[in-house]
Structure 1
Amino acid sequence: MKIVALFVQICLWFSIVLSPALLGLLMGGLLASQQSQTSLNVPLIGLMLGALFGAIWAEYIRRTHGLSQFLGRLVATPDIDGRSAHKP
């Protein structure tokens, strides 16, 4: 069972890393499309910088909040569940 829990934690960690990595790839691709020469270096550098930032961010979240708790709060819908902050 620990293998399954480890696999889930790894998937959650990569889901946090993937967000800034894709943003870096998109920004690098847009920057490369503005240049006259098409080069894969700029998007790859953006991808690597985004993945580095994402890994640092994911480790910070893992150590301070916990991956499942952090992503659970992002996905939670308290207004639909009837747990809103203000009750009339």
Structure 2
Amino acid sequence: MDQQLLQQPTLFGYDLLSIFLLFFFIFLALIFIGIAAALIKRLFFKMPKQKTPYEILMERFASGEIGENEFEEKKRILDVHKPPSGERAAKK
């Protein structure tokens, strides 16, 4: 009877500390695998450079898809909504 009280708690014949450590190391391995996969994806599978809205507008104007008036209007709209950069951003 005394030996039953001294036994460690078990699950499927293994003590709970061993099971906890096993799951902990599996969790760490999954984290490291995820980090390695993200680094490999970033290093070897680069995304092509995205075109800015202004570049797309210039291409549409050059191909004749839009007229000069529409081009000027959309260019003005893009200039109004341009994110702050350089000195304007430093002042804020």
TM-score of the pair, normalised by structure 1: 0.30
**Bigger strand share:** 2
Larger relative contact order (Cα-Cα within 8 Å, sequence gap ≥ 6): 1
